[in-house]
């Protein structure tokens, strides 16, 4: 019987591998291998039909040696504590690898917003904040949107914390709507950050981004803006996949001549589900959801959920593929890593590749605390500079020390966090 996938066990295995490379002492290993703090709580909500439902909420704060914790809040019917633990751990390394002064946090609620009214969703948001009001904030832990949460959810949460504390706290949460404390460029940030690193990786490999083809898993926020910028650089995206909430399965949409972002976004709902009938009329082939990974392209971009590039699926990757850019968190298992490494496929690891979101969230937090907001071009220029610098630091270390890129990124990130813990006298 196959053991169920546990993302936190994968996160710990990745850490253990690099802890061995670094020769970390036992105390530091124990400190960094587990979160510093975990919160589990109940959120009672009176539903529209008058009944009361109790939703389970989580917040995990992995490590704040380098600054306040930072990380999104997920609404998902299959959310688990171990998923949140893994994501909080990866957030610590993500903030460290791009060298922003934040630690790693993550939150979640076990719910399906598709089955909830806006009023019920608002009640969950405000209830989540009430449970954690003494343990979050711009000096402690700064939440943000994640899977199936959005700027409206963040604004409800900010409003609740301000009511509870009796003061304005625009830096409490990021991913808010522009005009209500949000930053220009935040919507594009994660997807654009993915492609900034893809651009640099292709150049490093001696390849012209304008002549490259790509296949993308997912068509939510990250994938949408990755597709947009990749095509703006002259590349051609030939396939995307998405989850269909109506029949609860996934599909891939392929058009060899290339996908037009503006065209596809016009037939996509707010949850990233593409209309199959309209796609057919536009000349798209409708394929099984996992077909994205088999495409004869130069670049694969998993930008959906964890555990997608496994030992089984990695063997189906076409021989033409030169680069895997992990727009999602934890999409590649350690077993698949070994296959990619053996085949010589260049991998941009998730906590570097998709760090554009947290970087721009940091920018939003800074702007909110200053009450002074930058123009969009300045936000994206700063984002490009941070992502490019971080990519080359990892690439240079990988080349110098003959390390796999994921290991090189971990070496940089874990070293920075471990040093911060030592300087504070924690270990």
Looking at the annotation, which residues are catalytic?
106
239 sits in which H/E element: strand 236-244
Give the closest residue to 237 by CA, choosing from 281, 295, 308.
295
For residues 296 and 292, give the distance between their C-alpha atoms in angstroms, rounded to a whole number: 10
Contact 346, 354 (CB under 8 A): no
* Residues 98 and 70: beta-carbon distance below 8 Å: no
Q: What is d(CA 272, CA 218) in angstroms, rounded to the nearest whole number?
A: 8
Side-chain half-sphere of 307: how many Cα atoms within 13 Å? 11
Query: Does residue 355 contact residue 193 with C-beta atoms inside 8 Å?
Result: yes
Place of tokens 């490093």: 204
Question: Mind giving me the DSSP string for 64-107?
Answer: -TTSSEEEEEEEETT--HHHHHHHHHHHHHHHHHTT-S-EEEEE
d(CA 205, CA 212): 12
Cross-strand pairs, 143: 71
* Dihedral class, residue 125 (left if φ above 0, else alpha if ψ from -120 to 50, else beta): alpha
Bridge partners, residue 346, by sequence = 323
Q: Are strands 323-325 and 346-348 parallel, antiparallel or unpaired?
A: parallel
Eight-class DSSP state of 138 = T
Tokens of 228: 């947009």
| CA contacts within 13 A on the Cβ side of 61 | 18
Distance, in Å, from the CA atom of 108 to the CA atom of 46, rounded to the nearest integer, reads: 19
Residue 158 to residue 161: CA distance in whole angstroms: 5
Which residues are within 8 A (CB) of 232 and not within 5 positions of it... i.e. 6 or more apart?
none
Q: Sort 162 into a burial class: Cβ within 10 Å, 0-12 / 13-18 / 19+.
A: middle
């Amino acid at each position: 019987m196959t053991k169920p996938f546990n993302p936190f066990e994968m996160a710990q295995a990745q850490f253990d591998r690099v802890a061995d490379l670094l020769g970390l002492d036992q105390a530091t290993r124990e400190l960094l291998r587990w979160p510093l703090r975990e919160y589990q709580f109940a959120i009672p909500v009176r539903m529209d039909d008058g009944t009361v439902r109790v939703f389970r909420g989580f917040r995990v704060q992995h490590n704040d040696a380098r600054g306040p914790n930072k990380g999104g809040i997920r609404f998902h019917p299959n959310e688990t504590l171990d998923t949140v633990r893994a994501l909080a751990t990866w957030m610590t390394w993500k903030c460290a690898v791009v060298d922003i002064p934040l630690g790693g946090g993550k939150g979640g609620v076990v719910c399906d917003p598709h089955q909830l009214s806006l009023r019920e969703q608002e009640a969950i948001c405000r209830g989540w904040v009430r449970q954690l009001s003494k343990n979050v904030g711009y000096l402690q832990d700064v939440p943000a949107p994640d899977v199936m949460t959005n700027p409206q959810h963040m604004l409800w949460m900010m409003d609740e914390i301000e009511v509870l504390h009796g003061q304005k706290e625009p830096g409490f949460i990021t991913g808010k709507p522009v005009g209500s404390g949000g930053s220009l460029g935040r919507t594009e940030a994660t997807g654009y950050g993915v492609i900034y690193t893809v651009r640099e990786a292709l150049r490093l490999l001696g390849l012209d981004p304008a002549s490259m083809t790509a296949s993308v898993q997912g068509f939510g926020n990250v994938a949408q803006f990755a597709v947009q910028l990749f095509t703006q650089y002259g590349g051609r995206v030939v396939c995307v996949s998405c989850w269909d909430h109506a029949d609860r399965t996934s599909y891939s949409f392929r058009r060899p001549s290339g996908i037009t972002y503006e065209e596809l976004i016009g037939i996509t709902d707010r949850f990233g589900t593409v209309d199959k009938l309209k796609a057919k009329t536009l000349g798209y082939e409708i394929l099984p959801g996992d077909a994205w990974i088999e495409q004869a392209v130069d670049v694969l971009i998993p930008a959906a959920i964890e555990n997608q590039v496994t030992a089984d699926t990695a063997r189906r990757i076409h021989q033409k593929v030169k680069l895997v850019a992990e727009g999602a968190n934890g999409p590649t298992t350690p077993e698949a890593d070994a296959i990619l490494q053996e085949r010589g496929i260049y991998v941009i690891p998730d906590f570097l590749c998709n760090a554009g979101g947290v970087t721009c969230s940091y920018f939003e937090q800074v702007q909110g605390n200053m009450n002074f907001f930058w123009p969009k071009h300045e936000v994206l220029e700063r984002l490009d500079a941070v992502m490019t610098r971080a990519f080359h630091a990892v690439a240079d270390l990988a080349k110098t020390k003959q390390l796999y890129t994921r290991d090189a990124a971990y070496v940089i990130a874990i070293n920075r966090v471990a040093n911060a813990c030592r300087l504070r006298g924690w270990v």
